[in-house]
Chains A and B, each alone.
Chain A
């Protein structure tokens, strides 16, 4: 054995071990004396390792943006806008239609005079964004449809927008260290939200999924000083507009005052008292809101209302419209319900109020929702996993106990069965555990319950490597080879087997990581790390220890194995 090579190996091992100890137990600041005590090391370990939600407690939510609904709404709105644009330009349009089913989204305008088709297209282009739609014109109708590639792009935009909005909502709600990311395939429209430390996500779920849409609309009614036209039933309201709703006129319920005494958490939805007819599209919609706040209705009142102000563009539009509609009635619509009605006394520019008796929390949540903008489409929850901090702590405890118990048993057996060589195995095992944790910390991966399972399997494979090597050395010794030869051959030959078993497992783990979801990934990551490190600890380190023994006694005749 070459002495120099041995020294190099020893220095490499010591350096890596020290680095590992520092990564796992070292503080991320200037060390103090306390860092070398048992409790100080434990505290550092706890702050260095990034525990998964199943171990530290928290909430894991998978939601899906209903992107099909988004495209449907977009199509319907465009159909209405196109019709309005063509009519405003006094072109011969006799009707519109919107198709939104089975992945087909299209808008059509029917013309009474086919010769005007080009003029209609021009007029619509100026008002409606049909940029990526496929245009066609068959003489009697002009239509626009969405190709599948464009659909995917729009869906992706909708999910991105939803993520931005959800992000701003949870941030203003004060959730600490949330992670928000896309989940599953790109086209699935899924979003994963993880919130450490949250063990009752109901209110947050409601807040995130709140599709509150605010709009200001014109109420169809004779102007002031006459009272606003309301109807006692939906049917009566429908009759006033010729029996059915059109794209431009809809019937909405109007609740003059929310009963503030309504019990919480009970589906006690009182029938709305009245109905009104409103004009669509709205004058102002939620995207034009700049600021919204919950304010007390009067000093010391338990009731809250929401005051809002508009962005400059919205304010100009609103100013113009109110200027033209003095004495008409205007309604504040929230989620297809008219919340309050006011008559326009004079031109209003940029702010308004939603009265109604909200509780403090409701008003605050609603203001938040309005401020963050409307979600592009509804959200549905697909998966919710919540682990309370106590359950998480229990899981850590049983996981650590099981691992330690297993380790102690294995160590005892290896020392008993392989005697002196057993020490090598024990050193290799401990080093494997230390370095795997260090690697986890370095790549900033989270340790989860399945991750602990991967760690345990890695330890199992580490034991197997040692057993393979030792059994092979024993075989060579039995065959009458000298101790140094037996060790050399044992390592060399077992190494081929170890490499093959490790590569197979690493290969399947990588595939698991690529195609698996959260918990499976955690398992795959720790397992791959454990195996890679095992090649170092079980083969390189263990062999170096044997080499040290040989270098002290080159003519060793008996090996404790």
Chain B
């Protein structure tokens, strides 16, 4: 057996105060960043919202010879879009992403019949890019057109109403998901655990958002998908440990819940290290090699994979213990897996008589 960790015995719960303090510190930094940015006149907003949530247009253009970013910026200023943001694609050297807010009707942007286009974002960006040469028309691919300098290969345009709608829908879906999780854990374990797990999830989401505010990483729909993923991830991690606590409560009636929680975390530590290590490394690879489109997604998962593990020990477990202490002792449902649980309880008990749980 190749083992990384053997017989760990760490008093995790003894660390709860410094750990919670650390969390609060990061959350305060995030809050400070969000409020500070919001009230600073002329400054950035609390979050760098992508077009999905605040509306606007993102144009992805592929060049034969990509001009310098500064040249593209001055071309955009020339057509009256100084607020445009240019994202250089790190993984595809011939592509560039240009993001403009909702511009509405602009002069010189009309359809074939001469009617003004209601949202001129793409048209304005195209005008700026046209200063570097013509676009390969229609279905013609860039390499097939000898005269073309570039081609717009992707457009994302979201109106202001749709942006708000997507934002609200996302928040509602996430909150409902959390309520579902809360109810399920309460049903399977106990309210104290449910509260612990759900507060830990909130903590993880907020910490991740704090990072997004402080570093001004762009919040897009893919970041939302990542936040949802880390919600699942965090709850998953909490449940693995709660499950062990529940089992240990059935086995060692004399022990304090404090000690049982420490034991459970220690017993599952090698699983925690292996699983989360694998996830962490895959996500790290995604951050490094995943490319511009997935950047927000990878960063959110990166932060989340760390905080998801951390919060189980630092947030979920201490809250469950603290609340149970308030309730006066372990009012936790005992192993309630029918049939199989019967068999296990006796089987595990036997194994316990032979050895004390890892010390």
The verdict on A62 contacting B162 (CB below 8 Å), with A410-B278, A497-B240, A508-B231 known, is yes
User: How large, as a class, is the contact surface on chain A?
Assistant: 35 or more
Q: Is the CB of A508 within 8 A of B180?
A: yes
Residue B44 at the chain A interface, CB threshold 8 Å: no
B252 CB → nearest A CB, Å = 15
B residues less than 8 Å from A383 (CB atoms) = 157-159, 162
Which A163-189 residues have a C-beta within 8 angstroms of B? 184, 188
In the bound complex, CA of A301 to CA of B297 (Å): 57
The verdict on A471 contacting B184 (CB below 8 Å), with A388-B154, A497-B243 known, is no
Q: Is the CB of A267 within 8 A of B157?
A: no
Residue A38 at the chain B interface, CB threshold 8 Å: no
B290 CB → nearest A CB, Å = 6
A residues less than 8 Å from B279 (CB atoms) = 460
Which A203-248 residues have a C-beta within 8 angstroms of B? 203, 206
Q: Is the CB of A511 within 8 A of B340?
A: no
B228 CB → nearest A CB, Å = 6
Residue A550 at the chain B interface, CB threshold 8 Å: no
The verdict on A512 contacting B177 (CB below 8 Å), with A384-B156, A467-B271, A479-B354 known, is yes
Which B156-205 residues have a C-beta within 8 angstroms of A? 156-159, 161-162, 165-166, 169-170, 172-173, 176-178, 180-181, 184-185, 188
Q: Is the CB of B236 within 8 A of A489?
A: no
Q: Is the CB of A388 within 8 A of B169?
A: no
A residues less than 8 Å from B297 (CB atoms) = 453
The verdict on A468 contacting B154 (CB below 8 Å), with A382-B162, A501-B236, A508-B177 known, is no
Chain B minimum-CB-distance residue to A460: B279
Chain B minimum-CB-distance residue to A558: B1
Residue A516 at the chain B interface, CB threshold 8 Å: yes
Question: For B113, B172, B279, which residue has the most chain A Cβ atoms within 10 angstroms?
Answer: B113
Q: Is the CB of B236 within 8 A of A520?
A: no
Question: For B185, B229, B348, which residue has the most chain A Cβ atoms within 10 angstroms?
Answer: B229
A residues less than 8 Å from B119 (CB atoms) = 381
Residue B60 at the chain A interface, CB threshold 8 Å: yes
In the bound complex, CA of A505 to CA of B240 (Å): 13
B353 CB → nearest A CB, Å = 10
In the bound complex, CA of A505 to CA of B270 (Å): 22
Q: Is the CB of B156 within 8 A of A385?
A: yes
Q: Is the CB of B228 within 8 A of A265?
A: no
Q: Is the CB of B2 within 8 A of A500?
A: no
Q: Is the CB of B278 within 8 A of A497?
A: no
The answer, among B1, B228, B270, for a CB contact under 8 Å with A561, is B1
Q: Is the CB of B341 within 8 A of A184?
A: no
In the bound complex, CA of A471 to CA of B235 (Å): 20
In the bound complex, CA of A166 to CA of B161 (Å): 22
Residue A387 at the chain B interface, CB threshold 8 Å: yes
The answer, among A365, A382, A519, for a CB contact under 8 Å with B159, is A382
In the bound complex, CA of A386 to CA of B158 (Å): 11
In the bound complex, CA of A383 to CA of B231 (Å): 28
Residue A474 at the chain B interface, CB threshold 8 Å: yes
In the bound complex, CA of A512 to CA of B165 (Å): 15
A25-33, A307-315, A325-333, A390-398 - interface stretch: A390-398
Contact residues of B: prevailing secondary structure: helix
Q: Is the CB of B151 within 8 A of A388?
A: yes
Q: Is the CB of B110 within 8 A of A267?
A: yes
Residue A36 at the chain B interface, CB threshold 8 Å: no
The answer, among B157, B158, B181, B286, for a CB contact under 8 Å with A504, is B181
In the bound complex, CA of A492 to CA of B338 (Å): 12
Contact with A along B311-335 (1 / 0, CB 8 A): 0000000000000000000000000
Which A474-517 residues have a C-beta within 8 angstroms of B? 474-481, 485, 489, 492-493, 495-497, 500-501, 503-505, 507-509, 511-512, 515-517
The verdict on A206 contacting B228 (CB below 8 Å), with A398-B91, A476-B351, A505-B236 known, is no
Residue B99 at the chain A interface, CB threshold 8 Å: no
B331 CB → nearest A CB, Å = 20
B residues less than 8 Å from A468 (CB atoms) = 240, 271, 275
B88 CB → nearest A CB, Å = 16
Residue A22 at the chain B interface, CB threshold 8 Å: no
A residues less than 8 Å from B294 (CB atoms) = 398
Q: Is the CB of A516 within 8 A of B173?
A: yes
In the bound complex, CA of A503 to CA of B340 (Å): 18
Residue A402 at the chain B interface, CB threshold 8 Å: yes
A residues less than 8 Å from B138 (CB atoms) = 200
Residue A266 at the chain B interface, CB threshold 8 Å: yes
A residues less than 8 Å from B228 (CB atoms) = 508, 512, 520, 523
Residue B35 at the chain A interface, CB threshold 8 Å: no
Q: Is the CB of B112 within 8 A of A504?
A: no
In the bound complex, CA of A198 to CA of B228 (Å): 31
Contact with B along A44-85 (1 / 0, CB 8 A): 000000000000000000101000000000000000000000
Q: Is the CB of B232 within 8 A of A203?
A: no
A residues less than 8 Å from B151 (CB atoms) = 388
B residues less than 8 Å from A268 (CB atoms) = 114
Q: Is the CB of B274 within 8 A of A467?
A: yes
A residues less than 8 Å from B155 (CB atoms) = 384-386
Chain B minimum-CB-distance residue to A198: B139
Residue A7 at the chain B interface, CB threshold 8 Å: no
Q: Is the CB of B173 within 8 A of A512?
A: yes
Residue A269 at the chain B interface, CB threshold 8 Å: yes
Q: Is the CB of A493 within 8 A of B112?
A: no
In the bound complex, CA of A395 to CA of B95 (Å): 13
Residue A464 at the chain B interface, CB threshold 8 Å: yes
Residue B111 at the chain A interface, CB threshold 8 Å: yes
Q: Is the CB of A382 within 8 A of B236?
A: no
A residues less than 8 Å from B267 (CB atoms) = 475
Q: Is the CB of A479 within 8 A of B355?
A: yes
B1 CB → nearest A CB, Å = 6
B residues less than 8 Å from A480 (CB atoms) = 351, 354-355
The answer, among A387, A413, A520, for a CB contact under 8 Å with B170, is A520
Contact with A along B214-236 (1 / 0, CB 8 A): 00000001101110110111011
Q: Is the CB of A406 within 8 A of B159?
A: no
Q: Is the CB of B159 within 8 A of A402?
A: no
Q: Is the CB of B225 within 8 A of A520?
A: yes
The answer, among A380, A398, A409, A477, for a CB contact under 8 Å with B291, is A398
A253 CB → nearest B CB, Å = 14
In the bound complex, CA of A453 to CA of B227 (Å): 12
Residue A450 at the chain B interface, CB threshold 8 Å: yes
Residue B281 at the chain A interface, CB threshold 8 Å: yes
Residue A419 at the chain B interface, CB threshold 8 Å: yes
In the bound complex, CA of A509 to CA of B236 (Å): 13
In the bound complex, CA of A467 to CA of B354 (Å): 25
Q: Is the CB of A264 within 8 A of B282?
A: no
Q: Is the CB of A507 within 8 A of B180?
A: yes
Question: 5 shortest A-B CB distances, which residue pairs?
Answer: A388-B153, A382-B162, A267-B110, A508-B177, A515-B173
Sample of 9 more A-B contacts, CB < 8 Å, known A515-B176, A527-B232? A206-B111, A380-B118, A391-B154, A468-B275, A480-B354, A500-B188, A504-B185, A519-B221, A520-B225
* Interface pairs (5), CB distance under 8 Å: A262-B114, A398-B294, A405-B289, A456-B282, A461-B236
Spell out B's residues near A (CB within 8 Å).
Answer: 1-3, 60, 62, 91-92, 107-116, 118-119, 138-139, 141-142, 151-159, 161-162, 165-166, 169-170, 172-173, 176-178, 180-181, 184-185, 188, 221-222, 224-226, 228-229, 231-233, 235-236, 239-240, 243-244, 247, 267-268, 270-271, 274-275, 278-279, 281-282, 285-286, 289-291, 293-294, 297, 337, 340-341, 343-344, 347-348, 351, 354-355
